[in-house]
């Protein structure tokens, strides 16, 4: 694999290269024949040829470089503040990131539906897909020690496990494009590279992502944009690419305890996010770095609001609950704050008791108005905190606004 030098002849970082394009032939499948014995004639189209970037030095403008550094610092500060309380907020923030990333792909579901889907309760396809995205994000963080093609394939395998038609954990072997037609790339706004290029491009990508001299947030933004340009899978590229951002932030030590929901920040301007990806493909780094940096700053503000909301809810619970201090009802308060829809078996495991022994404290919380109970067909009863679920839904609503107050 070869690549242009990262320096120009004067020893300065070279401008970021734009895409080039190559001609391809589109041969419609036989099941799209116009009539028996007749077929749609082959047509030509141009697919992207991304540059190799492993030895290129991204150089955003000074203003954007400063913004990226500020955003990285804010992410680290927020992560450090939650370090002592990570067990209470990491799961909620992880699911908030999964839901926000999915919403960018128009996959929306309420907090109650998402948490219920994780318990196996049928709440709709979207909630199940968001639950799968949560698992993919968890895998991304667990694999953050090494950014590799193997770890990226594993993220995708977890994300798409229930959709075998999209070959979970395997590079695509067919053309993909972004456009209004599903039967042809004609008229598409972007046609990803030919599948024969993916393996080399992905090896190049992870080499770039592993370079420590590139500022962390700049590296994450560029890696994400290059990943989305390669589009290595038939589906799930956006969600996998945003999980990769979380993995890189953990890998570089920007975050150590939580997955700050950066995708929630991107939701404030999805069109701008997509325009930034287009600008990247044309050789302009600034917009995608700005998009990720500003999304990070919005995410921290929004996440602080969510944490404050849950803290207030827990404080109100403490003033409401009159059970003895040695009752497991008190231990359940922390569990419910991070898992606001829960089964008896899950609650018992969290508290460390046998399942029959968890029912009395659950009833105590229901009697105190802290939990509500519902029997689900074929699964049995589960319990939920409408207050925490409302706080998480409010987080999602704020994520769609340009201003967070």
Residue 11 has pLDDT above 60, yes or no: no
pLDDT in tens, 30-51: 544 445 555 667 788 999 999 9
Residue 347 has pLDDT above 80, yes or no: yes
User: Which pLDDT score, from 0 to 100, does residue 380 have?
Assistant: 72
Percent residues over pLDDT 70 in the chain: 91
Percent residues over pLDDT 90 in the chain: 78
Residue 365 has pLDDT above 60, yes or no: yes
User: Which pLDDT score, from 0 to 100, does residue 378 have?
Assistant: 64
Mean of pLDDT values over 359-377: 91
pLDDT in tens, 16-30: 999 999 999 988 765
C-alpha span between 135 and 34 (Å, rounded): 43
Please confirm, yes or no, whether 231 is among the known catalytic residues.
yes
Instruction: Name the catalytic one among 231, 274, 305, 377.
Output: 231
pLDDT-based confidence at residue 375 (cuts at 50, 70, 90): confident
Residue 1 has pLDDT above 80, yes or no: no
Residue 133 has pLDDT above 80, yes or no: yes
Any idea which of 177-181, 202-206, 399-403 has the lowest mean pLDDT? Answer: 399-403
**What does 96-147 look like in DSSP terms, one character per residue?**
HHHHHHHHHTT----HHHHHHHHTT----HHHHHHHHHHHHHHHHHHTTTS-
**Residue 380 annotated in ligand binding:** no
Residues whose CB is less than 8 angstroms from the CB of residue 140 and which lie 6 or more positions away in sequence, other chains included: 151, 155, 243, 244, 246, 247, 250
Put the strands of the sheet holding 380-384 in their side by side order: 341-343, 380-384, 372-376
**Residue 369 annotated in ligand binding:** no
User: Which pLDDT score, from 0 to 100, does residue 16 have?
Assistant: 96
Mean of pLDDT values over 205-231: 98
Residue 2 has pLDDT above 50, yes or no: no
C-alpha span between 179 and 186 (Å, rounded): 9
**Residue 40 annotated in ligand binding:** no
Going from the C-alpha of 338 to that of each of 69, 103, 203, 204, 360, the distances in angstroms are 30, 21, 37, 39, 21
- Residue 267 phi, psi dihedral angles, 5° rounding: -65, -20
Q: How far apart are the first and last CA of the chain?
A: 49
355-360's contacts with Cβ under 8 Å and 24+ in sequence apart are 357/328, 358/328, 358/332, 360/328
3 against 141, higher pLDDT: 141
Mean of pLDDT values over 214-236: 98
**Residue 88 annotated in ligand binding:** no
Residue 87 has pLDDT above 90, yes or no: no
User: Which pLDDT score, from 0 to 100, does residue 7 have?
Assistant: 53
Q: Which residues of 337-363 are buried (b: 16+ CB within 10 A; e: fewer)?
A: bbbbbbbbebbbebbeeeeeebeebbe
129 against 9, higher pLDDT: 129
User: Which pLDDT score, from 0 to 100, does residue 85 have?
Assistant: 78
C-alpha span between 179 and 187 (Å, rounded): 7
Residue 238 has pLDDT above 90, yes or no: yes
Secondary structure string (H, E, C) spanning 307-326: HHHHHHHHHHHHHHCCCCCC
User: Which pLDDT score, from 0 to 100, does residue 31 have?
Assistant: 43
42 against 161, higher pLDDT: 161
User: Which pLDDT score, from 0 to 100, does residue 32 have?
Assistant: 45
Q: What is the mean pLDDT of the chain?
A: 90
Residues whose CB is less than 8 angstroms from the CB of residue 50 and which lie 6 or more positions away in sequence, other chains included: 19, 193, 197, 201, 226, 229, 230, 281
Answer left, alpha or beta for residue 341, where phi above 0 means left and psi between -120 and 50 means alpha.
beta
**Residue 386 annotated in ligand binding:** no
Residue 276 has pLDDT above 60, yes or no: yes
pLDDT in tens, 307-341: 999 999 999 999 999 999 989 999 999 999 999 99
User: Which pLDDT score, from 0 to 100, does residue 173 have?
Assistant: 95
Q: Which domains does the chain have, with CATH numbers?
A: 20-27+40-304 (1.10.3290.10), 324-396 (1.10.10.10)
Mean of pLDDT values over 366-388: 87
Residue 14 has pLDDT above 80, yes or no: no
Mean of pLDDT values over 123-128: 86
- Residue 111 phi, psi dihedral angles, 5° rounding: -60, -40
**Residue 236 annotated in ligand binding:** yes
């Amino acid at each position: 694999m070869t690549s242009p030098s990262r320096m120009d002849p004067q020893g300065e970082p070279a401008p970021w290269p734009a895409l080039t394009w190559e001609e391809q032939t589109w041969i419609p499948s036989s099941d799209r024949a116009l009539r028996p014995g007749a077929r749609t004639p082959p047509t030509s189209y141009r697919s992207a040829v991304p540059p190799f970037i492993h030895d290129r030095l991204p150089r955003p403008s000074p203003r954007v470089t400063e913004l990226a550094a500020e955003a990285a610092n804010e992410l680290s500060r927020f992560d450090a503040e939650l370090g002592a309380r990570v067990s209470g907020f990491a799961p909620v923030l992880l699911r908030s990131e999964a839901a926000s990333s999915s919403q960018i792909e128009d996959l929306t579901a309420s907090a109650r539906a998402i948490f219920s889907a994780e318990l196996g309760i049928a709440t709709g396809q979207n909630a199940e897909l968001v639950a799968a995205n949560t698992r993919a994000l968890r895998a991304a963080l667990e694999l953050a020690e090494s950014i590799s093609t193997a770890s990226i394939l594993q993220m995708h395998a977890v994300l798409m496990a229930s959709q075998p038609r999209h070959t979970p954990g395997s590079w695509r072997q067919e053309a993909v494009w972004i456009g209004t037609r599903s039967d042809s790339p004609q008229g598409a706004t972007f046609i990803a590279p030919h599948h024969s290029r993916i393996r080399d491009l992905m090896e190049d990508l992870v080499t770039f992502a592993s370079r420590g001299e590139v500022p962390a947030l700049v590296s994450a933004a560029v890696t994400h944009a290059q990943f989305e340009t390669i589009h290595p899978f038939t589906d799930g590229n956006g969600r996998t690419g945003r999980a990769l951002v979380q993995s890189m932030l953990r890998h570089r030590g920007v975050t150590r305890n939580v997955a700050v929901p950066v995708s929630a920040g991107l939701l404030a301007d999805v069109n701008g996010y997509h325009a930034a990806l287009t600008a990247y493909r044309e050789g302009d780094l600034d917009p995608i770095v700005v998009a990720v940096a500003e999304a990070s700053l919005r995410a921290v503000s929004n996440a602080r609001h969510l944490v404050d909301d849950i803290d207030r809810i827990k404080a109100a619970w403490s003033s409401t609950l009159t059970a003895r201090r040695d009752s497991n009802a008190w231990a359940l308060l922390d569990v419910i704050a991070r898992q606001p829809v829960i089964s008896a078996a899950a609650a018992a495991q969290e508290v460390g008791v046998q399942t029959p022994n968890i029912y009395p404290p659950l009833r105590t919380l229901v009697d105190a108005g802290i939990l509500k109970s519902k029997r689900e067909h074929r699964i049995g009863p589960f319990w939920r905190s409408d207050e925490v679920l409302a706080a998480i839904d409010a987080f999602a609503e704020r994520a769609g606004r340009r201003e967070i107050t």
